[in-house]
Each structure stands twice: as structure tokens, then as C-alpha cells.
Amino acid sequence: MTVTTNELGQNNLFAKEPQMVVESYNRKGLDSPKQYIERYNGRWAMMGIISGFLSYAITGKFFFGIF
């Protein structure tokens, strides 16, 4: 443990931090799995927007008569 003292004379105890580990996933040129998931989440969101526009163009109501 590391003990430090601030300007008011108060002691702060800090635990020693562990060694950092950097993992490389290299999934289709992306840096992390979260970027991979975020890409497909955006694609599915755009599919939902396009299907909303198509259902409005075909039926005149959003999502086939629900709204």
C-alpha cells in the first residue's frame, strides 16, 4: 500500500495497481469486440428505420397498422 499526505495533513491509502494486460482480438480489423458489436447494432438500427419507411410507403401506416 502507498500512503500519501495532502496539504491538510490527511493520509490517503491507495492499493497497488495490478499490471495492465492488453489483449488483441483483431476481428475484421476492429480494435475490440465492443466495436464489432456496435457496428452490427448500428446496422440493425438502420434496418429498422428502413423497414419503417417501407411499411409507411406500402400501407400508409407505420409498422403495418400498429400506429
Q: How far apart are CA 50 and CA 52, in angstroms?
A: 5
Beta strands in 1-67 (DSSP E): 2-5, 11-14
Q: Where are the domains positioned within the chain?
A: 31-67
User: What does the alpha-carbon distance between residue 42 and residue 27 come to, in Å, rounded to a whole number?
Assistant: 17
Whether pLDDT at 26 is above 80:
no
Q: For residue 44, what pLDDT is reported?
A: 95
Count of positions (residues) in the chain: 67
pTM, two decimal places: 0.46
Residue ranges of alpha helices (H) inside 9-32 are none
As a whole number, the mean pLDDT across the chain is 79
More confident residue, 14 or 42: 42
**Backbone angles phi and psi of 27, in degrees to 5:** -95, 105
* pLDDT digits 0-9 by tens, 34-59: 888 888 999 999 999 898 888 888 88
